[in-house]
Amino acid sequence: MGKILIIDDERSIRRALKEILEFEQFEVHEAENGKEGLDKINSANYDIIFCDIKMPQMDGMEVLDEIHRLKVEVPVIMISGHGNIDTAVEAIKKGAFDFIEKPLDLNRILVTIRNASDRVSLVQETKTLKSTVKRFKGSSIIGETDGIIRIKEMIEKVAPSDARVLVTGGNGTGKELVARSLHDNSNRKKMPFIEVNCAAIPAELIESELFGHEKGAFTSAVKDKKGKFELANGGTLFLDEIGDMSASAQAKVLRALQENVIQRVGGEKDIKVDCRIVAATNKDLVKEIEEGRFREDLYHRLAVILIHVPSLNERRDDIPLLSEHFLSLICSDHGIPRKQFAESALEALKKIDWTGNIRELRNIIERLVILGGAEITGDDVQLFANPKR
């Protein structure tokens, strides 16, 4: 569980709060004044901080100001036995997560902790997503062959709508980039883009991952958890490799798409969700349906718009553009001066049988950047790309 710091000059309050939190399996540290609290904050990472307002030497508001001056990103819950509405409003304006009056109420404390933990998780996930999206933003989909031009035109038409999209294509062809482009060009672009790799999550965990779970739903469910459908509310949910989803999860996803409601694992309450669904697969879902591994009704719910991403072998004329793009990114990532391709290198790259598609191309460009000279030649490609594998 998380680590919590209690800053309060009243020993009885610290002791009572510590007993409550340790019973809930939190690791609890104490500080009897603001200065000691700040020293602990500077020397350790905490998930939540409880801070009294009325303390000698340095009051809670000063501690709160210092926490924000130090840019410590942690929810601070202010507590006070002398508080009023004005005090609570001032604390919230200064960046406190919440304000709780003494005597402390057990249920209020636990609800506030849960809400603070959820916010921390969401903020962290949003940062990760923004960082990833930033890497893709501006690059869009690179290519000028007919197949790629058709995809760009399709995205331009489809993105502003909320129509569900099924993206098909081999591994490494760029299905995720199509999904991100649909989101980035939609009316939901300011809301979250949440990705779930259905093939990477064990069948017994996929429902919890998608729909969340209630505390106690299973052995390791120590607190309520929001699923990807809830996290994507207002935005886009990308179900990657949906052809690998279990039959049970398929049934629940179908209900979510039909009714726009979900139920957490172990819960009975219907939760309304509003997210656009973009799915992707490297499988032939029609064949999967015929062989009883995929629900036909779910397929028709997902495949309102079909976008097929061609393999790299089908778009060899895009290889020079893609190679130059990856060359710039990789040189920047490794902090080395930008290298150049000789024409012979680009021609050699176009002759390779790209079984791993764009993902394989990127890996080989990185290998050439690291092992090749300032100008990457056709001989370098022959030596390092191993086209006869």
Give the pLDDT confidence of 294-311 residue by residue, as tens digits: 999 999 999 999 999 999
Domain spans of the chain, in order of start: 3-118, 137-308, 312-384
* Three-class DSSP category at 364: helix
Strands 305-308 and 236-240: unpaired
The pLDDT of residue 236 is above 90: yes
Angle (deg, nearest 10), helices 85-93 and 60-69: 10
Burial class (CB in 10 A: 0-12, 13-18, 19+), 62: middle
Report residue 70 as tokens. 């130090």
**pLDDT for residue 276:** 96
CB 262 within 8 A of CB 211: yes
The pLDDT of residue 216 is above 90: no
- What backbone torsions phi and psi does residue 237 show, to the nearest 5 degrees? -110, 120
Tens of pLDDT along 71-82?
Answer: 888 899 998 877
CB 315 within 8 A of CB 273: no
Single-letter amino acid, residue 24: E
**pLDDT for residue 91:** 86
Kindly indicate whether the domain formed by 3-118 is annotated with CATH number 3.40.50.2300.
Answer: yes
Q: Is the pTM of this model over 0.75?
A: no
Strands 48-52 and 76-80: parallel
Strands 165-168 and 276-281: parallel
**pLDDT for residue 387:** 47
Tens of pLDDT along 240-292?
Answer: 999 999 888 899 999 999 999 998 988 888 999 999 999 999 999 999 999 99
351 HSE (CA, 13 A, CB side): 13
Report residue 66 as tokens. 């210092």
**pLDDT for residue 138:** 38
Angle (deg, nearest 10), helices 175-184 and 106-136: 110
**pLDDT for residue 24:** 86
Which CATH number describes the domain made up of 312-384? Answer: 1.10.8.60
Dihedral sign computed on CA atoms, order 29, 34, 36, 39: positive
The pLDDT of residue 360 is above 90: yes
CATH fold match for the domains 3-118 and 137-308? yes
Q: Which CATH class is domain 137-308?
A: alpha beta
**pLDDT for residue 129:** 58
Q: Rounded distance, CA 142 to CA 149, Å? A: 10
**pLDDT for residue 1:** 54
